Chains A and B, each alone.
Chain A
Amino acid sequence: MTVPAILFYVFGALAVLSALGMVLNVRNTVAAAMSLVVTMVSLAGIFVLLEAHLVAVIQVMVYGGAIVVLFLFVVMLLNLRSDDFAPGRARLQKLAGALLAIWLLARVSKGFVSFPPWPPLPPGFGGYRQLGVALYTDYVLLVEVVSLLLTAAIVGALILAKRRID
């Protein structure tokens, strides 16, 4: 059990526990958002173990630092308190959800072939230089299209949240 393996299991367990904490937390929406942050950060730790350094930092910065803050902002703005299930339906829904998830898991795990061992990596793999070069030479069209998408999203969010269009 090398140190990366132990770290992977620790981060993985933390991610699963906090994901469960987010989904099963009925009373407090802000606590659910905090559990989501813990999931994001532990996933970023796993990304570092998988040699994706820039992606890990961007995950913490964008997901953990901006997107979940946006969720929290909306929760605090609308001053949302707790929500409850209607009693009879809750049990049926949870059962249906759990069965669906287990079925999905079984389908995916049936397709597991045995993978080859990890290959050695060239130096600088996953660093910002290689990723930057790849983004702006091979995938420059993708970057431009994503920027158009983000502009459309900004305009859409502004219009949706405005009080009156005048």
Chain B
Amino acid sequence: MVPLEHVIGLSALLFGIGVIGVVTRRNLIVILMSIELMLNAANLAFVGFNRLWPGAPGENALDGQVFVLMVISVAAAEVAVGLGIVIAMFRNRDSVDIDDVSLLKW
């Protein structure tokens, strides 16, 4: 099995790709998907660290994986509400382009 540095490196790489997605894309749905990618990268880091330091057996041995389950639940809730916002926005302005909803001056 590969050393943990490679797992964390992969997690950082996926996180970076997610950041590129959030910053450069204009389509709100792709932005939401890039946020999901970043959450997945964090999950990978959690699981990797949990494998390395499992904790004493019988007490808190699976902390990382429990937290991953919580992150997945929170991501599901966020996607539901986010897509509700996308539908409401589409109904108002007929586009999901974030540049069209920007009311700032510059």
Contacts and interface: CB of A to CB of B under 8 A. Distances in A.
Q: Do chains A and B touch in the complex (CB under 8 A)?
A: yes
Nearest to A85: B26
Query: Dominant SS at the B interface?
Result: helix
A109 B12 contact: yes
Interface in B1-43: 1-10, 12-21, 23-27, 29-30, 32-34, 36-37, 40, 43
Interface in B45-99: 47-48, 50-54, 57, 59-62, 65-66, 68-70, 72-81, 83-88, 90, 96-97
A19 B37 contact: yes
B18 to A, nearest CB: 7
A12 B10 contact: yes
B27 A52 contact: no
Give the one of A33, A97, A130 with max B CB within 10 A: A97
B96 A62 contact: no
A114 B8 CA distance: 12
A134 B14 contact: no
A156 interface: yes
28 contacts: A19-B18, A19-B37, A32-B33, A36-B36, A39-B37, A39-B40, A46-B10, A50-B51, A52-B68, A67-B36, A71-B29, A71-B83, A74-B83, A75-B29, A83-B97, A90-B24, A96-B24, A98-B20, A101-B20, A104-B16, A105-B16, A109-B12, A126-B62, A134-B60, A142-B70, A146-B73, A149-B77, A157-B81
Given A22-B37, A47-B47, 13 more contacts: A23-B21, A23-B25, A43-B43, A50-B47, A55-B65, A85-B26, A97-B20, A101-B16, A118-B1, A153-B80, A153-B81, A157-B80, A158-B84
